[in-house]
Structure formats: C-alpha cells, structure tokens
Amino acid sequence: MTPDKEFKKLLILILVIAGIYFGIHTNNGTKLVKDIQTRIFSVVFEEKEITADTELDTEEDNWVTKILTKKKPKQYWISGSIRINGLSNYNTLSKEQIYNFRKYYVNKTIFNDRNYIPSEEVFGGIKEGSKWIGVKAYSCIGANNLAYRSMSKESKFINNPSILIGLDYASYPKNYMNCSEQDYLIPKHLHFSKDDNTFYLNYNIPEQQRDRLYKLVGLNARDLGFKYGFCRKSNNIAFVNQFDNISKGIYEFKDAIRLDSSCGVSGGCNNNISYQEELFFNIKSSPATFELKLWKDKPETVSEKADINFTIILE
C-alpha cells in the first residue's frame, strides 16, 4: 500500500472518530456525522482517468463504503451534489474492460453493491473490440467513416450510473455544424435529495441544438433495476407521440447497447440504438422539465409510491 493511501486511511479514521464523538456530545451531531460521511467519500473516491491500461483497485477504493453499507444502502444515502464524470474513449476495448469500468463507477455511487454485475439485457450486445460511436459525430457531424474519432457517446451514461434517466439526441444531425463540448449534452449538475428521495439533473441546451429531436435515455435505470417509469408531470415538452408516451402510463425501458451499422464506420459501432418513440420529444421553450417516477417492479397504477424519483431540468 502506498504512503498516500496510508495517509488517506489515517485521515478517514480521524474523521470517523470525530464524527462518533461529536454525534454523541453535540446537538448538531446528526448533521455533523453526515458532513463527515460526505468528506470520507470525497477523500476515498478521487477521480481517476480511465484508459485501457487502468487497473481498477476496487477493493482498496471501497473499503470505507463497505463499512458504511453493511445495512441496506438506502440507510446511508447522503443528500448533496454528485460529481459528473468525464467522457472516455472505449474504442477497441474488450467487453471485460468495459464491464470493469462500469463496476468501478457503480461502486462509487449510492447504488454500490459488491455483487453488482452489468445487466446482459443492457450491455450483453456490446461487440468486443469494435469501435464506439463518437459523441462529436452524433452531436454535430453526422454518420461517416470517422464517426468513432472522439470520446465515446455512451460513456456519458456508463461513467455516470447515477444519471438514471438522461438526455440525448434522437438521431444524427441533419446537417454538419461546428461543435463544442456544450453540444455533447453533458449534464451541468446532479443532486440527490434524501428527504424527498429524488435526483435533480440539470442540462444547458445549446442554442443551435434547440430545434433537434431529443429522447430520454433509461440505460442506467434499466441496468440498476429501475425498469419501469412514468412521467407524472412535464413542462414545455412536446412528446412526438401524443397518445403513447411515458406520460400516458407505466413504461418499461428497452435501452440496450448493440452494434449499429448506421454510424458509417466499416464494421459498425457500439451504440444504444433501441428505438423508443415513447421517449422522443421536442423542447418548446426553456426551462423545460420532467418529473419521473421509477420502480423496480411494475406497479399496478401510476399513483403507487416510486422507488425513486428523478427530475430533469433543461435550461
């Protein structure tokens, strides 16, 4: 073990002891313990740049999490901001490497589970060693034989499991446009509130992209077991299918990554190409919002209490 890791463990031990002491001897003990838990997570889970050669030392990184999650994980969910992890280049990586990256990121979230295995329904169709559709091509350039030459679009979701329901374009752009990182639809902010059991996800929609057709992406929700959703309220949103969409009844997510031949690259690209018109929409004006209820088991009615709530704000 490196001296740096030894120092971290010593610091964490001090924080834990301080939390226990003040939790017993002060009126604000509960709040202080939560603050200390948050500091523990920030110390242990430093951002790592993920490459094909990265060794993911999950046992070492997650020893504090295992202490804090001996009971059901929900008992230790902490309100606060959640880091948005950056994009990665997945081109030519093996399925095992992708799965290891996914496990690494899941184990940094409130959904941490040492027995977690990526869903074969969602990720089983990954073509090992193949190219991945690039975020730049899908956002701005369009399908072509170099569409894989940028960070991988699906890493927006694979690297950020807490984005249970995300946002993406529903198709390639019709015309080439100059591109910036803002066009990639990287969320601006993600927050979890334990009090109302709700995630709040904020996006800044680029001005040049406001007329595009968008879709909700349930890749992470489906993988983590939240297979069913319902949009209980939306504002400034126009669903493409007015009569059959996620606001009309309980919807089962179908998101899955498979080889996509439409990207223009010889041999195809790994991509989430599940066609779900029920999730397609246009933005009428800003701010636009979705308030979604998610369940692990299919509820009998939409009025049933959600296992978790998810709100998306588009500005």
Dihedral (CA of 150, 155, 157, 159) sign: negative
pLDDT of residue 10: 63
Stretch 59-86: mean pLDDT, rounded?
54
**Is the model's pLDDT at 312 over the cut of 70?**
yes
Residue located via tokens 């226990």 = 20
Task: Find the range with the poorest average confidence among 73-82, 135-144, 181-190.
Answer: 73-82
pTM given for the model? 0.77
Q: How do 131-132 and 269-272 pair as beta strands?
A: parallel
Note the Cα 74 to chain centre separation in Å: 18
Confidence of residue 21 (pLDDT cuts 50, 70, 90): low
Task: Find the range with the poorest average confidence among 28-32, 285-289, 307-311.
Answer: 28-32
Burial label for 46, CB within 10 Å (0-12, 13-18, 19+), is exposed
Task: Find the range with the poorest average confidence among 51-55, 203-207, 267-271, 290-294.
Answer: 51-55
Please give the Cα distance from 279 to 219 (Å, whole number). 12
pLDDT of residue 6: 57
Burial label for 10, CB within 10 Å (0-12, 13-18, 19+), is exposed
Please give the Cα distance from 219 to 247 (Å, whole number). 18
Please give the Cα distance from 214 to 170 (Å, whole number). 5
Stretch 48-73: mean pLDDT, rounded?
39
The amino acid at residue 93 is L
Kindly give, in sequence order, each residue whose CB lies less than 8 Å from that of residue 212, ignoring residues fewer than 6 positions away. Answer: 169, 170, 173
Please give the Cα distance from 165 to 190 (Å, whole number). 11
8 Å CB contact between 69 and 112: yes
Stretch 65-83: mean pLDDT, rounded?
53
Please give the Cα distance from 205 to 145 (Å, whole number). 27
pLDDT of residue 29: 47
Please give the Cα distance from 182 to 204 (Å, whole number). 8
**Is the model's pLDDT at 135 over the cut of 90?**
yes
pLDDT of residue 117: 96
The amino acid at residue 150 is S
Structure tokens at 130: 């193949």
Mean pLDDT of the chain: 83
Confidence of residue 66 (pLDDT cuts 50, 70, 90): very low
Q: Per-domain residue ranges for the chain?
A: 1-44, 47-314
Residue located via tokens 């939240």 = 226
**Is the model's pLDDT at 270 over the cut of 70?**
yes
**Is the model's pLDDT at 101 over the cut of 50?**
yes
**Is the model's pLDDT at 37 over the cut of 90?**
no
pLDDT of residue 14: 62
pLDDT of residue 129: 87
Which of 1, 91, 77 lies closest to 37 in space, CA to CA? 77
Please give the Cα distance from 227 to 254 (Å, whole number). 8
Stretch 155-180: mean pLDDT, rounded?
93
Hey, is 72 helix, strand or coil?
A: coil
pLDDT of residue 17: 60
Which of 246, 226, 223, 216 lies closest to 306 in space, CA to CA? 226
Hey, is 230 helix, strand or coil?
A: strand
pLDDT of residue 16: 52
Task: Find the range with the poorest average confidence among 76-90, 93-107, 178-192, 289-303.
Answer: 76-90
Could you tell me what percent of the chain has a pLDDT over 90?
Answer: 69
Stretch 16-36: mean pLDDT, rounded?
49
Please give the Cα distance from 30 to 39 (Å, whole number). 14
Please give the Cα distance from 279 to 168 (Å, whole number). 11
pLDDT (tens digit per residue) in 175-217: 888 888 889 999 999 999 999 999 999 999 998 999 999 999 9
pLDDT of residue 180: 84
